[in-house]
């Protein structure tokens, strides 16, 4: 077997973790391979604050052999060298005299990356970068490099880019299979939904996760609400105020609120520049709350603002086979800024899927 083969096994182990259990940590899988090519230890990172993949793999290998001095460690992410909630993995590797480590992706934070420490200790360190391994930790890498959550815009549009009629009615542009995918994949993977007070009041949606085979699951909700309209008495029966046990509604505003807040509602004070939310400041605050991936389900103005700030990472457009031929119907992106064709935002197509007559176009944004 090749290094790629062994790393792919470690990659499959890494994928067994639940992203929300390991936040803000990355997916990591590791295997220990004996000199004869037999895998004697396997492990993956299961829970934030618990043992890392390398530790689990080494402990598994020690059940079969107390001598790892002729083994190779294959790990999907560069071993860490810092003491956080757990000790550094580099120390354990060196302690057990593992002579060779093969790494499938590099840690984006040089302050905790341990490849050099291992090499300095005499360990042969090889890199074998696999695209699927790097892609698995896209959210983690964005968190580390940009100090913000990963932002994914989700929108259902007509062929000509309309998300609602001029009165704001949008039910339903996409079909049921598309909407099921949003719950099963996009909302399930996200830590929170970002939207605006206008959208929440207009749509009166629960903004939770609903799967046919399970009870509805809670999801944090971030609402840009400069005037705190959500807290007005007329809105007390909004669907978002379902009984929450382990999730919150964050109201983003520059206002103060003197009255008692409803349970599970928290004010998040952010600067409003000419009425526009400081999205960079908001991003830093969200990451501090361990909100690492945000699904944006909003109107054209917020969608455009996020892209103008260059903080959108993915765009998921569910395109229905319909036309809404009204100049006053609502656009998926709504901006009055002059933009020449040579300055258009560039996209890289990552994936296409069909849901009956709907087409999902998943793009990565190129800035």
**Burial bucket for residue 364 (CB in 10 Å: 0-12, 13-18, 19+):** middle
* 194 touches 298 (CB < 8 A): yes
Q: How many CA atoms lie within 13 A of 66 on its CB side?
A: 0
* 79 touches 102 (CB < 8 A): no
Cα dist. 81→17, 30, 109, 258 in Å? 22, 16, 11, 46
Q: Write out the catalytic residue numbers.
A: 54
Rounded Cα distance, 258 and 273, in Å: 23
Long-range (24+ apart) CB contacts under 8 A made by 277-286 are 277/224, 277/226, 277/252, 277/305, 279/305, 279/306, 279/309, 279/311, 280/148, 280/309, 280/311, 282/222, 282/252, 283/147, 283/148, 283/149, 283/311, 284/147, 284/148, 286/148, 286/149, 286/192, 286/222
**Burial bucket for residue 273 (CB in 10 Å: 0-12, 13-18, 19+):** exposed
Long-range (24+ apart) CB contacts under 8 A made by 200-205 are 200/230, 200/238, 200/240, 201/229, 201/230, 201/235, 201/238, 202/168, 203/170, 203/171, 204/238, 204/239, 205/239, 205/240
Look up residue 227 and give its two tokens: 């005037």
What's the sign of the alpha-carbon dihedral 366, 292, 164, 273?
negative
């Amino acid at each position: 077997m090749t290094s790629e083969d062994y790393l792919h096994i470690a990659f499959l182990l890494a994928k067994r973790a639940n992203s929300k259990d390991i936040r803000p940590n990355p997916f990591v899988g590791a295997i220990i391979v004996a000199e004869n090519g037999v895998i004697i230890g396997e492990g993956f990172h299961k829970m934030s604050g618990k043992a890392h993949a390398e530790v689990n793999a080494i402990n598994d290998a020690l059940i079969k052999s107390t001598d790892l001095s002729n083994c190779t460690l294959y790990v999907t992410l560069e071993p860490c060298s810092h003491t956080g909630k757990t000790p550094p993995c580099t120390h354990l590797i060196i302690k057990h005299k593992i002579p060779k480590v093969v790494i499938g992706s590099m840690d984006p934070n040089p302050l905790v990356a341990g490849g050099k420490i291992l090499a300095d200790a005499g360990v042969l360190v090889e890199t074998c970068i696999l695209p699927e391994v790097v892609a698995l930790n896209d959210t983690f890498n964005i968190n580390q490099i940009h100090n913000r959550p990963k932002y994914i815009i989700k929108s259902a549009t007509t062929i000509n880019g309309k998300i609602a009629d001029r009165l704001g009615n949008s039910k339903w542009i996409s079909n049921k299979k598309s909407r099921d995918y949003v719950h099963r994949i996009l909302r399930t993977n996200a830590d929170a939904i970002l939207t605006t007070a206008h959208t929440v009041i207009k749509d009166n949606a629960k903004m939770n996760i609903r799967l046919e085979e399970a009870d509805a699951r809670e999801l944090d909700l971030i609402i840009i609400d400069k005037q705190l309209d959500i807290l007005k008495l007329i809105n007390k029966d909004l669907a978002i105020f379902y009984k929450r046990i382990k999730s919150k509604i964050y109201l983003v505003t520059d206002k103060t609120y003197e009255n008692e807040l409803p349970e599970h509602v928290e004010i998040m004070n952010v600067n409003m520049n000419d009425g526009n939310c400081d999205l960079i400041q908001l991003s830093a605050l969200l990451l501090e709350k361990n909100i690492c991936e945000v699904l944006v389900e909003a109107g054209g103005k917020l969608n455009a603002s996020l892209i103008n700030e260059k903080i959108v990472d993915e765009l998921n457009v569910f395109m229905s086979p319909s036309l809404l031929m009204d100049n006053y119907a609502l656009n998926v992106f709504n901006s009055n800024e002059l933009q020449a064709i040579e300055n258009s935002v560039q996209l890289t197509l990552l994936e296409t899927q069909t849901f009956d007559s709907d087409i999902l176009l998943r793009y990565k944004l190129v800035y």
